[in-house]
Every structure is written in structure tokens, then in C-alpha cells.
Chain A
């Protein structure tokens, strides 16, 4: 069976203005809206489109995280994924641990493509896909804005600092998504009902043989430095004068 594996992460919704706890022990996540990481929705959308074109037969979504993540997996099933894998784990899951767990899932499911987001918008690490590709000893095409499959190869256009870069990679491979790859579909109500019946398998890191090691200690959280309050000017002339007096022009 031609399968695509999509890794998703449950994160604080991108519209939430995050606040640091007064004691510096973390950020406030209680009572805050949680969502599928936006880049992962794009990853799933791409997988679904590939399946709809007939180039894949099954789309599997997977996450490593606490029990609450099942909500996000259900959202992905409602979007159109065929089944979900939940690797149950509490606490911090570093990218290397997530990559090791995803590696085990690739061994189990034998996908020809793994699509992940280019970064999770909570920790902004941008590591997991690259680490998975290294451990799997397969190609990586990160920050993708266009994916064209051609038999056992893919051509991927990547958003890089210089512009757009195109790579040709042998499959299986890991692709990570950039924002302009596609626009994810909305979930329709009947699909939410249908998603409840789709298979969701629960696993554990231990059963996969992956150690949940935390190698980086997060010792203190602080709010960023605040900028000083600025001034408002009334027109272009005053703007130029103000910038001149500040020595900027």
C-alpha cells in the first residue's frame, strides 16, 4: 500500500498572545486555545491532495504527546486522513525524541513519503524533519512550496533565503512544508461525525523502544525586552524632521 505519514503537533493556537508565568517557570497554557500546528495542516493538506490525485492510497497522521492530542488527531481525521497513530507521552518531547519515534513509525508503516511542518510554532525549533531524515538515512526537502511526484522520485521547490531552490530527491523521503505550499481545507461538520469512526491507534514511546530523554534543561522563561513607547507624527514633513533629529536620516 502506498502510504504517506504526516506528523502533527498540538500547539497553542497562532492567534493566542502568549504570556510568561510570573515565576519564570514556563508560559501560561492553561485555558488557552490549542490547535494543530499550522504548518502541519499544510502537510496534511498536501498528503490529501496527493492521495486525491491517485498517487497515494492511504494518509496516516501521527503525533507524539499527551492524551489531549487526540482532539487534534480527530481534527486531522475529519480533514480526510484515513487513520491516526497516537504515541502517548507526557512532558517535554524534544525534536530528537519525536524524530526517533517517527522513525519507528516509518519502519512500521513503510510510507513512501513523510510530510512534516517546517516548524512547530510553540518552540520554533525547526529540527524534527531534518533529524528524522538523518536517522532514516533518506533525503530531506525542507521548507517546500511545491511538490511534484514522478514515480520513485520527487521534485521539490524550497523557499530559501536567496529565492526558490529546486531539488530532486529519491523516495522515500522527508518533506517539510512552508506556508505557500497550499491552503488547507476547512473541516465540514458531517466529516467531524465520520471522523469519530475512523481508527485511532494508541501506542507508547516505551513500546516503540524510544527513550524519552530530555537533554536540554529549560531553566528560566522571561518576557522579551519591551520597546520604549514611540511618538505619533502628523504628516510626512514631521516624520522626516523627527527621523533627522533622532539621527536616523
Chain B
């Protein structure tokens, strides 16, 4: 008997978010998986064809509705819940989109949710981090119950493209509430690599001391490395960097090839966000800073001397 898996896609109306391809990889790890991607959109065609190109996907279901011009949990959840009947699993990414919508879907389906799936051990058995990643728990879903979960995107590679799944419209015969309305989003557009998918990340902490120093010190180095910029919570709280750059338990969980932590002490909540980085570099003037416990390469010293020199060496 195959496991029928429904993935709730994330997108901005035109482009499929890379988190969806990671959900596909997670789903493909479930035995006998038959994978369907649902696309709720105002006009799903562009996103649907990107979803259909992901290898391992059998089918793409589109729900075109004007309300889906901005994906709001209150509107998306009933549309997905109405589709979910014949599926054994409903998965979404553990991004702010998925974290918002998936529990609402789970509750409509009267199902428990497994958050932040980091490994698949079987059709009903998964592993996930708890206590900011300081423990890993194996979770088993009761027999016969639907599995609803979010996929920890840092734990899975994106599925390859080159597939050609069938695209079909789904009948969306649900009542969609109007009590929640989109007003605006301030997406800081930059040419810089995206923090969540970048191969290299340069992050700054409280030690940077000001927004100006953060810009002037970190950005040139990030440019030299072709890296995305990240920040600790202390740096965001102090206004040195915008909130979408925060890395950690309550920010973004990332898995770059190279992570450079500059003037960051290495609090547990920050380390949670970088555990899956391939190589961690730490630059900190305090040789006892906890960041050195996880760093592959550590350099003790004043960042305001080291960073300009590093930048020069990389030129």
C-alpha cells in the first residue's frame, strides 16, 4: 500500500520557494511514497510548472482563487484540509509560512502535528529536535492516524529538477473566511544571496556596536565571499540588522557550507540555527566564548583588526 503524501507548497505567486523542494526530499524518504504538491495561488500556472519539474513528484494540484494572492493561514488551511481526505501524510516546510499554516491544517483535521522533522525513520516514525536542539526525540504517530508535519529545511537537500508531473486543477469547494486580511509586506530586496539557501554566510553579533559598523565591516567581507549576511538576536534587537537576518532558535535555521560568526558569543539559541553548517569559523576576542566549542576554525582577536585584514587577503 503506498503512502499518499500531500505537500503544501510555499511561493510568492511567481516563484516556488526552495523549501518545497526540500519537503519533496523528506517525503521521498517515506516508504512507497506517492507525492502530490498542492499549489494555492491566485494564478497557479507558473508555480505549478516549477513544482511539476521536481523529481519524485507524481502530481501537482492547483487551487486558483483570488484570495490566494497572499497566502494567509486562515484562508489556506481550509483549502488544504478539504483536499487532505485521501492522503496519509500532509507536509509543509518549517519556514514562517509553514509554521503558521500547518498547525491550523492539523487542527482542522483533528490531528497532532510533528514539527521540524529532521529525519524519516519510517512511514509513521520521525526524528525531531527539542530544547533548542539539545535533544533529539523519536516520535511515532499512532497507527491509522494521518501524519501532519513540518519539515526542517536545513536537514534536507532540495529535490532535483527534470521531472514532469501531471498538473491538475483541484475543486476548491470550501468556505474561505474573510476575517483575516493582508495589508503589506516589507521585503527588503537585495542582490545578496538569500540567507536560507546561501552556501556561505557571514554573521555579526553585538560586538559590531552599531548599524553603521555592521554595514561597513561585514558587508564588504560578505561580498568578497559571495556570502549572505546573518545576525545574532542581540545585533537585531540593537537595530544593527533587520529581523529577517536573525539566525537561531527563533530566527532562521540554516545549513551553509561555510558559516563565519563574528563577535557572536555562541548562546545555545544561536547555535541551534547553525548546527548543520559544514564549516564554522568563529572570530571573537574572548578565547572562552562558547562559540569556540562548535567552531571548526577559531581565531581569537579583535574583529575590527581581523576583518579588514581578512578582506584584504581575499582580494
Residues of A with Cβ closer than 8 Å to B? Answer: 12, 14, 17-20, 27, 94-96, 99, 118-119, 121-135, 137-143, 145, 155, 158-170, 173, 178-180, 215-224, 227-228, 230-240, 242-243, 246, 248-249
Q: Which residues of B contact A221 (CB under 8 A)?
A: 135-138
Using A135-B107, A168-B181 as known contacts, list a sample of 18 further A-B pairs with CB atoms less than 8 Å apart, ordered by residue number in A.
A95-B113, A121-B132, A124-B116, A134-B105, A134-B108, A145-B243, A162-B12, A163-B243, A216-B141, A219-B139, A224-B136, A227-B280, A231-B296, A233-B299, A235-B301, A240-B310, A246-B297, A248-B278
A239 touches B297 (CB 8 A): yes
A218 touches B185 (CB 8 A): no
Please name 9 pairs of A and B residues whose Cβ atoms are closer than 8 Å in the assembled complex, sorted by A. A124-B115, A130-B100, A142-B73, A158-B96, A161-B252, A163-B243, A219-B140, A221-B137, A236-B309
Q: How far is the CA of A145 from the CA of B250 in the complex (A)?
A: 13
A39 shortest CB reach to chain B, Å: 8
Known interface pairs A126-B103, A161-B96, A215-B112; A220-B138 also in contact (CB < 8 Å): yes
A249 shortest CB reach to chain B, Å: 8
B108 touches A17 (CB 8 A): no
A236 touches B136 (CB 8 A): no
Q: Which residues of A contact B301 (CB under 8 A)?
A: 235
A227 shortest CB reach to chain B, Å: 5
A14 touches B269 (CB 8 A): yes
A166 touches B107 (CB 8 A): no
Q: Which residues of B contact A173 (CB under 8 A)?
A: 179
Can you name the residue of chain B whose Cβ is closest to the Cβ of A155? Answer: B183
Known interface pairs A163-B188, A164-B186, A179-B233; A131-B107 also in contact (CB < 8 Å): yes
**How many residues of chain B get a CB closer than 8 Å to chain A's CBs?**
85
Q: How far is the CA of A222 from the CA of B118 in the complex (A)?
A: 13
Q: How far is the CA of A153 from the CA of B175 in the complex (A)?
A: 21
Q: How far is the CA of A155 from the CA of B95 in the complex (A)?
A: 22
Q: CB within 8 A of A216: which of B74, B140, B257, B313?
A: B140
A248 touches B137 (CB 8 A): no
Q: CB within 8 A of A242: which of B72, B106, B297?
A: B297
Can you name the residue of chain A whose Cβ is closest to the Cβ of B184? Answer: A166
Q: Which residues of B contact A167 (CB under 8 A)?
A: 72, 180-183
B103 touches A94 (CB 8 A): no
B134 touches A124 (CB 8 A): no
Is B214 interfacial (CB-CB < 8 Å)? no
Is B46 interfacial (CB-CB < 8 Å)? no
Q: How far is the CA of A61 from the CA of B180 in the complex (A)?
A: 25
Q: Which residues of B contact A20 (CB under 8 A)?
A: 135
Q: Mark B109-120, 1 if CB is under 8 A from A, else 0.
A: 011111110000
A131 touches B104 (CB 8 A): yes
B185 touches A165 (CB 8 A): yes
Is B314 interfacial (CB-CB < 8 Å)? yes
Known interface pairs A142-B73, A159-B96, A215-B145; A231-B298 also in contact (CB < 8 Å): yes
Q: Which residues of A contact B181 (CB under 8 A)?
A: 167-169
Q: CB within 8 A of B296: which of A135, A141, A180, A228?
A: A228
Can you name the residue of chain A whose Cβ is closest to the Cβ of B242? Answer: A163
B100 touches A17 (CB 8 A): no
Q: CB within 8 A of B141: which of A96, A180, A215, A246?
A: A215
